[in-house]
Amino acid sequence: MSEPIIKTEYGEVQGVSEHGCIVYKGIPFAKPPVGDLAFRHPVSPEPWDGVFHADSGSANPIQDQGGFSVPNNSQDCLYLNIFVPEENGKKEVQKGRPVMVWIYGGSYNRGGSGAKSAGSADLIFNMSRFAKDTGTIVVTFNYRLNLYGFLNLHFLSERFDPNCGLYDQIFALKFVRNNIAAFGGDPENITLFGQSAGAACILALMSMPDAEGLFQKGIIQSACVDHFFTEEESRRNTKSYLKRLNIPESEPEHLLDLSAEIVTAQNKAYSAALRRSGDVRCAFSPVIDGKTLPEPPSKAVLTRTLPILMGTVLQEGNLFVNPIPAIALPFTSLLMHIKPRKGTGSYRQRISDGLSDYVYNIPMKEILEHYPGRSWCYSYQHIRPAHKENGMGCFHACEIPVLFGIMNDADEGSEATGVFMRKIWGTFAHTSDPGFEPYLPDHSIHVIS
């Protein structure tokens, strides 16, 4: 039996059957942001004739290379993927399924949801198992990163739009709202879920007028809550970035001519320079410009009432602190204003825990303690055997392969934890309640171990 052909507002698409899902890969949700459209807010793609065979993934955004970076990079990256569970092997479209939309993290400088190599059917995030186990339709998409998505150039020239990366997300959500019913999804039951910068983006979207009504709830995993720049801070950073490239402030259009290789190298150097200045924020964070992003999301969300599930992992800071040489730990702590957490652990672990509190735990609790809507909190504490052996512990982003069931070295305990997490995430998507007690200050934090 062939896979169903789905009619979207831009044309017909046909997916492929994989692992109990029909998967639609590499659907364009905007025109390629290249040439005259580079550094602009996204615009609708050209409609296509015939059937679009959605059987391979797209390229991923241009990015810095290193931990959590993904290959196959291009400016032409605005595509999405849809995972639709089959019902007992039946391929016909079911109606009214909850929808879950994933926003990847990576410090606004790395990450993607496209293919692992050009023209490949192998995606960065295979959500088939997650979609089946949660009984939801899952959507993943790309958004522009670093200077293409978040460097503030608008104050230099109206040729450049602000916060393009956030508007890519809004545009993808508009595609979902307008078309997901044809795939069997419920456009009135859309859950955003994301991790790190992706989770912070959910807070931003909750506070943006242009995103109003595009989703109904959020799962916010290890959000870097305060990683946003004021207009003044972003202007200073932009000037520094241009100076490194010897581009005059009066001629920012020269950025249009940069090769991907130059951008990649410059992004890495620029990020390192910001860290040396003592700023722990992501180098290309979104800008609170008073218009597209009116105020700090941590403040704006306190007027919202969407159901939210927020959480962190036990030792977020290990990912960042463990690689630092022991001799540099005191200086790093002082430079970045990290107060070691009191306790009996090693000095390194207390600094790591202090970073976890400073960047993740304390800002999260500030939101939860004042949030007017329904909210729940979890603490992920599972340590996979390999991470126990190498000393990484329960570090930032370690829950993602467990949650999605895409571990290369799965063990029985991690498999069980993944099943448990997918039940919680799926229950929240279906019912707007994860199945445990709502958050109250200093208790009602659900432990996942």
- Residues 339-384 pLDDT 10s: 999 987 899 999 999 999 999 999 999 999 999 999 999 999 999 9
Kindly indicate the confidence band of residue 30, based on its pLDDT and cuts at 50, 70 and 90: very high
Residues 158 and 257 grouped into a single domain: yes
Residues 1 and 145 grouped into a single domain: yes
The token pair that represents 207 in the structure block? 């506070």
Q: Are 37 and 78 in contact (CB under 8 A)?
A: no
What does the pLDDT average to over 268-272?
88
Residue range 78-136, pLDDT digits in tens: 999 999 999 866 666 678 999 999 999 999 999 999 999 999 999 999 999 999 999 99
pLDDT at 2: 75
Looking at the predicted structure, is the pLDDT value of residue 327 above 70?
yes
Residues 359 and 224 grouped into a single domain: no
**377-407: buried (b, 16+ CB within 10 Å) or exposed (e) per residue?**
bbebebbbeebeeeebbbbbbbbbbbbbbbe
Residue range 55-75, pLDDT digits in tens: 999 999 999 887 789 999 999
Looking at the predicted structure, is the pLDDT value of residue 310 above 90?
yes
Taking the C-alpha atoms of residue 19 and residue 32, their distance in angstroms, rounded to an integer, is 30
Residues 294 and 167 grouped into a single domain: yes
The token pair that represents 401 in the structure block? 């392969």
Q: Are 365 and 311 in contact (CB under 8 A)?
A: no
Nearest Cα to Cα of residue 115 among 172, 32, 59: 59
pLDDT at 90: 62
DSSP 199-233: HHHHHHHHH-GGGTTS-SEEEEES--TT--EEHHH
Kindly indicate the confidence band of residue 325, based on its pLDDT and cuts at 50, 70 and 90: very high
Residue 423 in 3-state DSSP?
A: helix
Looking at the predicted structure, is the pLDDT value of residue 434 above 70?
yes
Residues 337 and 286 grouped into a single domain: no
**Does residue 106 belong to any structural domain of this protein?**
yes
Around Cβ 295, how many Cβ atoms within 10 Å? 12
Q: Residue 351: what are its φ and ψ, rounded to 5°?
A: -70, -45
Kindly indicate the confidence band of residue 409, based on its pLDDT and cuts at 50, 70 and 90: confident
Range of the domain at 329: 317-373+381-449
The token pair that represents 398 in the structure block? 């370690």
Residues 160 and 238 grouped into a single domain: yes
Name the one residue in this structure whose structure tokens are 């609170």: 288
Looking at the predicted structure, is the pLDDT value of residue 143 above 80?
yes
Which residue(s) pair with 6 in the sheet?
Answer: 13
pLDDT at 3: 87
Residues 295 and 322 grouped into a single domain: no
Q: Measure the CA angle with vertex 355, ends 329 and 407; round to 5°.
A: 105
Number of folded domains that form the chain: 2
Q: Are 173 and 48 in contact (CB under 8 A)?
A: no
What does the pLDDT average to over 146-175?
97
Amino acid 382 reads H
Q: What is the number of H-type helices and E-type strands within the chain? A: 14, 15
Which residue(s) pair with 28 in the sheet?
Answer: 79
Residue range 190-233, pLDDT digits in tens: 999 999 999 999 999 999 999 999 999 999 999 999 999 999 99
Where among 279, 306, 333 does a domain terminate? 306
**Does residue 91 belong to any structural domain of this protein?**
yes
90 Cβ neighbours under 8 A, 6+ residues apart: none
pLDDT at 289: 95
Name the one residue in this structure whose structure tokens are 């825990």: 353
The token pair that represents 81 in the structure block? 């993927």
Looking at the predicted structure, is the pLDDT value of residue 428 above 90?
yes
Where among 285, 306, 327 does a domain terminate? 306
pLDDT at 444: 79
**Does residue 58 belong to any structural domain of this protein?**
yes
Looking at the predicted structure, is the pLDDT value of residue 1 above 60?
no
Name the one residue in this structure whose structure tokens are 């105020």: 295
pLDDT at 92: 65
Nearest Cα to Cα of residue 242 among 181, 352, 151, 351: 151
Kindly indicate the confidence band of residue 275, based on its pLDDT and cuts at 50, 70 and 90: confident
Kindly indicate the confidence band of residue 338, based on its pLDDT and cuts at 50, 70 and 90: very high
pLDDT at 155: 96
Q: Are 196 and 170 in contact (CB under 8 A)?
A: no
Taking the C-alpha atoms of residue 352 and residue 320, their distance in angstroms, rounded to an integer, is 8
Amino acid 223 reads A
Residues 298 and 321 grouped into a single domain: no
Residues 242 and 261 grouped into a single domain: yes
Residues 271 and 137 grouped into a single domain: yes
CA distances for 196 relative to 138, 364, 431, 446, angstroms: 19, 12, 24, 19
Which residue(s) pair with 257 in the sheet?
Answer: none
pLDDT at 343: 84
Kindly indicate the confidence band of residue 237, based on its pLDDT and cuts at 50, 70 and 90: very high
Nearest Cα to Cα of residue 106 among 167, 52, 62, 43: 62
Nearest Cα to Cα of residue 390 among 415, 405, 409: 409
Nearest Cα to Cα of residue 287 among 298, 276, 296, 278: 296
Residues 335 and 205 grouped into a single domain: no
Residues 283 and 402 grouped into a single domain: no
What does the pLDDT average to over 163-171?
98
Where among 306, 326, 348 does a domain terminate? 306
Taking the C-alpha atoms of residue 146 and residue 5, their distance in angstroms, rounded to an integer, is 36
What does the pLDDT average to over 434-445?
86
**Does residue 311 belong to any structural domain of this protein?**
no
pLDDT at 89: 60
**412-438: buried (b, 16+ CB within 10 Å) or exposed (e) per residue?**
eebeebbeebbebbbbbbeebebebee
Mean pLDDT computed over every residue of the chain:
95
Q: Are 184 and 97 in contact (CB under 8 A)?
A: yes
Task: Return the CATH number at 134.
Answer: 3.40.50.1820
What does the pLDDT average to over 391-410?
95
**Does residue 312 belong to any structural domain of this protein?**
no
Taking the C-alpha atoms of residue 388 and residue 385, their distance in angstroms, rounded to an integer, is 5
447 Cβ neighbours under 8 A, 6+ residues apart: 378, 379, 381
Nearest Cα to Cα of residue 424 among 415, 433, 412: 433
